[in-house]
């Protein structure tokens, strides 16, 4: 994205929205479609499974709710960073990026503990019994979401360097806007998944 073509001055072309940011939005749309597919598969299996009496209900491990909390915190910090950058308050940016990244890693950790908890309760990814598909789904949700988080962490990592080189400021908000958009999306996505798993009964 850094490679985006520089639009020469003579071109009186005013994009409605920056193409790179728009691209991120489209990626988000694609990701939403992916999770929409998962969720509809979940509902199909659930309806079918409840009819046939082979759908196991279980409470989500507490760790997943905890990661919900953490992901809200990351959103708060990245938003803070964004506001700071907007006010050209740029010397606190590296710190904010780092905190966000640590929180993101904490998020991954809490997910890991959540998975351990599921395993200890005998809720596996692999199916031995017909009613275990419900737990497989949780693994899929968590796994695919964590892949998204991984890309988010890469962004934050780049953010630390960029902000340390003072490359993020009032006049150059593109990168941090992308970061913030993506992280807010990830947060909302995880909260949505939690609520989905909680309420889709």
**DSSP secondary structure letter of residue 50:** H
| Under 8 Å between Cβ of 135 and 58 | yes
**Segment near other proteins (CB under 8 A), from 4-12, 71-79, 152-160, 169-177?**
4-12
195 lies in the binding site for other proteins (CB under 8 A): no
Distance in Å, CB of 14 to other proteins, minimum: 6
Distance in Å, CB of 149 to other proteins, minimum: 17
**Segment near other proteins (CB under 8 A), from 40-48, 79-87, 105-113, 174-182?**
40-48
CA distance 57 to 135: 9
Backbone angles phi, psi at 53, to 5 degrees: 65, 35
Q: Which two tokens stand for residue 20?
A: 């790179």
Residue count of the chain: 201
Q: Which two tokens stand for residue 155?
A: 């962004």
Q: Which two tokens stand for residue 29?
A: 């749309």
132 lies in the binding site for other proteins (CB under 8 A): yes
34 lies in the binding site for other proteins (CB under 8 A): yes
166 lies in the binding site for other proteins (CB under 8 A): no
Residue with token string 């939005």: 25
Note the residues at the interface with other proteins (CB under 8 A). Answer: 1-8, 10-20, 22-23, 26-27, 29-31, 33-34, 36-38, 41, 44-45, 48-49, 52-54, 125-133, 136, 140, 144
């Amino acid at each position: 994205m850094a490679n985006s073509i520089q639009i020469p001055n003579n071109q009186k072309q005013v994009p409605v929205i920056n193409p790179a940011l728009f691209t991120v939005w489209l990626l988000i749309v694609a990701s939403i479609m992916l999770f929409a597919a998962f969720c509809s598969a979940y509902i199909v299996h659930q309806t079918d499974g409840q009819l046939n009496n082979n759908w196991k209900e279980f409470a989500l491990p507490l760790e997943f709710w905890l990661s919900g909390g953490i992901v809200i915190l990351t959103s708060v910090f990245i938003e803070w960073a964004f506001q700071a950058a907007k006010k050209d308050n740029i010397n606190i940016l590296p710190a904010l990026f780092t905190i966000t990244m640590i929180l993101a890693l904490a998020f991954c950790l809490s997910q890991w503990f959540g998975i351990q908890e599921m395993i200890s309760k005998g809720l596996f990814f692999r199916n031995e019994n017909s009613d275990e598909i419900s737990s497989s789904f949780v693994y899929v949700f968590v796994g695919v979401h964590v892949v998204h988080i991984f890309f988010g962490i890469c962004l934050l990592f780049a953010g630390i360097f960029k902000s340390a080189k003072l490359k993020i400021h009032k006049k150059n908000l593109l990168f941090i806007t992308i970061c913030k958009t993506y992280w807010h999306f990830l947060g909302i996505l995880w909260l949505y998944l939690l609520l989905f798993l909680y309420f889709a009964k």
